[in-house]
Amino acid sequence: MGRIDFIELNEEEMEVYIKDDFGIYIVFDCVLQDMKTLECELSKIASHYLNKTEVLLDPTSLKSSDRPFPLKDRLQIIEDLLKKETEFQFNKVKLVQVYMECYEHISNPLDQQRIMQVITD
């Protein structure tokens, strides 16, 4: 007998929950590693573009500081990146659910295989 998991979506908070066939909320162990990898990748992307485009303020023009300081708020940039990534991943889950609904209503094995390939891609 196979395992049956259910996906619940909270549209207001853009959160995805997984329940097993007993109704217990679960978290897969690979999710934590995927999140760490994603945070690292987003941090590298933000750092690359910040270093490439950022101009430091000249301390002589401000007179109040002895050294240059960055113009961009790094925490705001990381927050914006994480927010956009959250929206992207949430919309991907909604799209996969639509494809899974199509898959469940297809009786032709060849068409099922095609839909599964689209979902995997």
The pLDDT tens digits of the residues spanning 48-88 come to 888 777 766 555 555 555 566 667 777 888 889 989 999 99
Residue 82 resides in a domain: yes
Asked, for residue 42, whether it belongs to a domain, the answer is yes
Q: Read off the amino acid at residue 59.
A: P
Rounded to whole angstroms, the Cα distance separating 33 from 41 reads: 12
| Residue 41, domain extent | 6-120
Flag whether 97 is in a domain. Answer: yes
1 within a domain of the structure (yes/no): no
Predicted confidence (pLDDT) per residue in 2-11, tens digit: 567 888 888 8
| 73, part of any domain | yes
**pLDDT tens, position by position, 89-104:** 999 999 999 998 888 8
User: Could you tell me if 27 and 18 are in contact, meaning their C-beta atoms sit under 8 angstroms apart?
Assistant: yes
- H helix or E strand, kind and range, residue 107: none
- pTM of this prediction? 0.72
pLDDT of residue 117: 92
Taking a C-beta distance cutoff of 8 angstroms, is the pair 21, 4 a contact? yes
- Residue 38 is assigned to a structural domain of this protein: yes
Can you point out the beta strands (E) in the chain?
A: 6-10, 15-19, 25-26
